[in-house]
Structure 1
Amino acid sequence: MKPFIRDIILEHKIEIMEEWQKEINKFRTDDSLQNITDTMYENTNREFVNKLILTVQTEGGGDHDELIQFAERLIQLGWPLNYITRGLQEFRKITIETLSETSDNYCKSIEFFQEIEDWIDGIVNLLVNQYSGSWENTVFLQKMALKELSAPLIPVFDNISVMPLIGTIDTERAKLIMENLLDGVIEHRSQVVLIDITGVPVVDTMVAHHIIQASEAVRLVGAKCILVGIRPEIAQTIVNLGIDLGKFPTKSTLKKGIESALELTKRQIVEIEQ
């Protein structure tokens, strides 16, 4: 930004800031901002516009470190990207309108408008990229955390483990299930594995295929697999689709599955008389 343009903006900064805060308050009714208190919203608006003016005060208008830190804090607090982009668009509009009303003829020229456009566009690109990168990183970390929790193999008795499945099973998740299943069987020395599909909403041909593959893999490493959690609607779907689950035993509940697993490992649950 040219030094004399910076001087003109700073000369009218109070007027620009006040007008901008009036306009930004109109966004307060957006659904994405409803969970933010009025005090926090006002304080954030004030800080936002101060950071924008700070980029003008810096020589050349190129130091955006504090603005980036401000944006990163908004990301962590869950503020929508729309707040940043709309705020910058309003700041652009108000700056041009305010300065075009001054007596300086340059502020009415196309060259001046282009200077302001380039300045704000640079900030928009910077903050949008910052938001995108942070969100991608957050989503990636959340995805990895969900993967770690989505298919655990839990030892419940000696040589007996349970893998509870919850939610939709796609190809990527099926691969994770297979890996966790085989690693867990070896680690826990499982002789019997119960795959519990109580929490799987739909069992179609693809899901059944993945489950069959998992059971076959378990068999190849020397363990037995029991499918539990077969609800009536799931059983009907399996029959209607002609899916063959006859290669390994199935039980309607986890309790019945554990009883069968204990029998396979030559144990049983007995009641002790008081």
Structure 2
Amino acid sequence: MVWNAPGPAGPAPVPSGWRLGAVLWLLGMPGGVAVVWALLPPLRAHAELLPLPWWALALLSGAQTAVLLALCVAVGTVLAPRVGLGAPAVSAWLCGAPVGPAVRRLWGPGVAGGIAGAAWLWALSWVAPAALRPTDPAAAMPLAVKLLYGGITEELLMRWGVMSLLLWLGWRVAQRGRGRPGTGLVAVAVVLSALLFALGHLPAAQAIAGVLTAPVVAFVLVGNTAFGLVAGALYARHGLEAAILAHLLAHLLSHALL
């Protein structure tokens, strides 16, 4: 066991890389399975139009998610401790250290972020472009997908993987890898990862709306960037689990309202 350099989230025990990476990958995989499961009905319904058997496309989709998740988890596992980022609760558990102190530090900020995120999603639902409002309630995204993929897998991809990489690159270029990353570098990494998080939602928006009009693009980018800023700030200051908790609560608390 080693200790990471003091960072925004505070010093925390870091287990061996392969153990932490394996646990985080396993934590994110149910989200990938949930997405594939949600895709099965439409794939079967349009099987005659598909270039491959529906089951082959489902397997390819799952494999793509598994590989991408493994890549992002590996990047975060290697780079996050170098720039003061981490997953304090999971790391403490893997190292046999008390988990309670880490959970107590991230619980309040994570819950506050989740409540703010739910309020933001509810407010967005009132101004959403008509093209993004499902006409059939049965076609809405299942709660399991929102929680497992949105709440956990996306945070591993965008915060643990992408944001850690962006902060490490900025730290290496601007500070030549010396000292702790400055506040400005952390802010840039939060903003850039939030923008990439928002851009990643455009394909889903196009699938729903049929065409990416200016109002649809603006709505998706503004709505998702705002929450990405919250999640990124939570990750930087309190650890990955705080961002995951906020994302989970935002979807859970807003699901009944949307």
TM-score scaled by length of structure 1: 0.27
More strand by share: 1
Structure showing greater radius of gyration is 1
TM-score scaled by length of structure 2: 0.28
